[in-house]
């Protein structure tokens, strides 16, 4: 089924508008619906109003690799030393103006002078070193630490006010890219726990956070760079995509995020490649998922072509690996698993005959709002796995409860699980995917194999063409010999955009939505 939103929108600000869509949102508008507590009355013409699928669980900068946090925080409230340009994949200066490799394990960064944090504290090399150490070496379980650095040993030293040396235990050819995920905070930031409302150097600072209702950011008048167009940003959140779309259609919001074609964004819909890959993580440490035949059967049972065509309305591509084309390490020889229900049943029967407890109930743990039609996706998967001969139940969770299953330490005594997840590849290198998801000690992994660990480690130490080949081989080994997950699709995103706002989404938009890239249209 072809997407009703084709062709993709990326040509010319504010992005090519999609064709008309009729759906729930349009019906809500026709009924004159308004959304309570949308915050619309608190915003003026100089405020851009954004409605999200969920409230950020935290604005802690060292958790900015989480989508719900990063799209509000990154390069809005806080900033990193470097920043990857989505269109080119190149690394651009941010709070660092230059960097070079001094030896195999040491990088030197020249920092921007004359920058202040929101509280007037000067940005220095000492603050940069503190932020790296707090993110990587503190005991506050930063998501960025596991997502970006794994078990790497890193130390940062201020050489002088604007010069920073960062040293790693092992050679790290992509360290400047990794540091694009470390948001810089002043040295007085708490190191014993996470902060709810951080102080940064970004073009906006936190004004008010009315928990459960909205979050307002105000423009930081002493920002070191170009002043953004809007004086303020007002975030609100609604779980239902049709409601979010209707808020833009009715003029109650300017930007709505995370929409499906059926949400009724109509002429306001803008489609973009969002670099996200949806997948189901298998807890392969527990029976019956500890048997590779069961894991293979799950992959054979899922009809990815049908899932993308029907549930995702054609917005996406069936996938067989966790990284998409364009990411270092992508293996073009890995195809999506074919849909073969007969083979799935055979594998389950073989496992049962060998005493594998295939009748054990497997819990499909989903997350509300992780992507459009998340619950419907799990219903399709559940039906397929039941048809293959497995017992499966669905449990949908909100983001905070779901996070307990995403990251170590995992809840005890949960039985075998398949976790609904989505991985962003905006960093452009498989190093940010394989170790944490497939490594034996990965932050999002409960199981791995020594051979896959070895392949991942070798790839992480490689450069250039060798790096590409090494990660591609690790992904192929995972697909052939390990089968730790059921990758579903490389996703395509939709936002709804008011005609009064100019904004062009890019492949990083789902993870970081820069307010400075928005301006009044016309």
Span 61-76, pLDDT tens digits: 999 988 889 999 999 9
Q: How far is CA 8 from CA 186, 315, 379, 436, in A?
A: 41, 10, 28, 31
pLDDT above 90 for 89: no
pLDDT for 87 equals 81
Mean pLDDT of the chain: 89
pLDDT tens, position by position, 441-483 = 888 998 999 999 999 999 998 988 999 999 999 999 999 999 9
pLDDT above 90 for 495: yes
Cα–Cα distance measured from residue 403 to residue 200, given in angstroms and rounded to the nearest whole number = 25
Six token digits for residue 364:
């499909």
pLDDT for 88 equals 81
Cα–Cα distance measured from residue 294 to residue 358, given in angstroms and rounded to the nearest whole number = 8
Q: In sequence order, which residues have a C-beta less than 8 Å from that of residue 466 and are 6 or more positions away?
A: none
pLDDT band at 511 (very low <50, low <70, confident <90, very high): confident
Most confident residue range from 18-27, 65-74, 83-92: 65-74
Q: Which of 189, 164, 148, 162 is nearest to 61 (CA)?
A: 189
pLDDT band at 14 (very low <50, low <70, confident <90, very high): very low
pLDDT for 507 equals 85
Cα–Cα distance measured from residue 247 to residue 339, given in angstroms and rounded to the nearest whole number = 39
Q: Which of 382, 390, 381 is nearest to 348 (CA)?
A: 390
Cα–Cα distance measured from residue 506 to residue 71, given in angstroms and rounded to the nearest whole number = 13
* pTM for the model: 0.75
DSSP assignment of 332-396, as one string?
A: TT-PPPP--HHHHHHHHHHHHHTT--TTSEEEEEEETTSSTTHHHHHHHHHHHHHHHT-EEEEEE
Six token digits for residue 383:
């039906």
User: Is the distance from CB of 337 to CB of 320 less than 8 angstroms?
Assistant: yes
User: Is the distance from CB of 369 to CB of 346 less than 8 angstroms?
Assistant: no
Cα–Cα distance measured from residue 401 to residue 244, given in angstroms and rounded to the nearest whole number = 23
Q: In sequence order, which residues have a C-beta less than 8 Å from that of residue 434 and are 6 or more positions away?
A: 322, 329, 456, 459, 471, 474, 475, 478
Cα–Cα distance measured from residue 316 to residue 298, given in angstroms and rounded to the nearest whole number = 20
User: Is the distance from CB of 135 to CB of 99 less than 8 angstroms?
Assistant: no
pLDDT above 60 for 99: yes
pLDDT tens, position by position, 246-303 = 999 999 999 999 898 889 999 999 998 878 899 999 999 999 999 999 999 999 999 9
pLDDT tens, position by position, 192-243 = 999 999 999 999 999 999 999 999 999 999 999 999 999 999 999 999 999 9
Q: In sequence order, which residues have a C-beta less than 8 Å from that of residue 190 and are 6 or more positions away?
A: none
């Amino acid at each position: 089924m072809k997407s009703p939103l084709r062709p993709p929108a990326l040509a010319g600000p504010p992005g090519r508008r999609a064709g008309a869509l009729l759906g729930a949102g349009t019906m809500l508008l026709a009924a004159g619906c308004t959304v309570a507590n949308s915050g619309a009355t608190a915003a003026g013409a100089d405020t851009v109003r954004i409605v999200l699928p969920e409230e950020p669980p935290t604005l802690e900068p060292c958790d900015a690799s989480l989508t719900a946090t990063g799209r509000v925080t990154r390069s809005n409230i806080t900033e990193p030393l470097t920043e990857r340009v989505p269109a080119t994949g190149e690394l651009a200066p941010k709070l660092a103006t230059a960097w070079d490799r001094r030896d195999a394990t040491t990088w030197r960064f020249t920092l921007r002078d004359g920058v202040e944090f929101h509280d007037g504290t000067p940005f220095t090399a000492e603050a940069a070193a503190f932020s790296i150490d707090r993110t990587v070496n503190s005991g506050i379980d930063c998501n960025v630490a596991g997502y970006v650095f794994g078990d790497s040993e890193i130390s940062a030293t201020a050489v002088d006010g604007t010069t920073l040396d960062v040293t790693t235990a092992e050679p790290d050819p992509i360290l400047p890219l990794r540091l694009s995920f470390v948001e810089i905070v002043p040295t007085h930031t708490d190191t014993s726990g996470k902060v709810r409302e951080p102080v940064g150097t970004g073009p906006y600072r936190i004004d008010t956070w009315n928990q459960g209702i909205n979050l307002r950011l105000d423009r930081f008048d002493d920002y070191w760079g170009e002043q953004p167009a809007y004086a303020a940003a007002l975030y609100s959140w609604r779980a239902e995509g049709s409601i979010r779309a209707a808020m833009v259609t009715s003029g109650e919001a300017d930007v709505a995020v995370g929409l499906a074609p059926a949400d009724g964004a109509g002429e306001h819909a803008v489609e973009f490649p969002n670099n996200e890959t949806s997948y189901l993580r298998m807890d392969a440490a527990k029976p019956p998922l500890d048997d590779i035949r069961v894991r293979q059967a799950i992959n054979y049972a899922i009809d990815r072509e049908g899932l993308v065509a029907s549930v995702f309305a054609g917005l996406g591509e069936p996938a067989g690996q966790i990284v998409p084309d364009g990411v270092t390490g992508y293996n073009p020889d890995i195809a999506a698993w074919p849909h073969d229900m007969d083979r799935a049943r055979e594998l389950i029967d073989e496992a049962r005959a060998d005493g594998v407890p295939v009748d054990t109930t497997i819990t499909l743990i989903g997350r509300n709002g992780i992507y459009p039609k998340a619950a419907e996706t799990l219903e399709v998967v559940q039906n397929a796995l039941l048809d293959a001969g497995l017992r499966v139940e669905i449990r949908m969770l909100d983001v905070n409860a779901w996070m307990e299953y995403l990251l170590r330490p995992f809840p005890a005594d949960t039985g075998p699980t398949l976790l609904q997840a989505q991985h962003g590849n905006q960093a452009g290198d498989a190093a940010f995917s394989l170790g944490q998801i497939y490594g034996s000690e990965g932050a999002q992994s409960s199981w791995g194999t020594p051979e896959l660990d070895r392949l991942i480690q070798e790839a992480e130490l490689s450069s250039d063409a060798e790096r590409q080949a090494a990660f591609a081989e690790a992904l192929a080994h995972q697909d052939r010999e390990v089968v730790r997950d059921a990758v579903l699709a490389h996703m395509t995103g939709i936002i709804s955009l008011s005609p009064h706002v100019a904004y062009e989404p890019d492949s990083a938009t789902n993870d970081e939505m820069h307010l400075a890239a928005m301006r009044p249209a016309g």
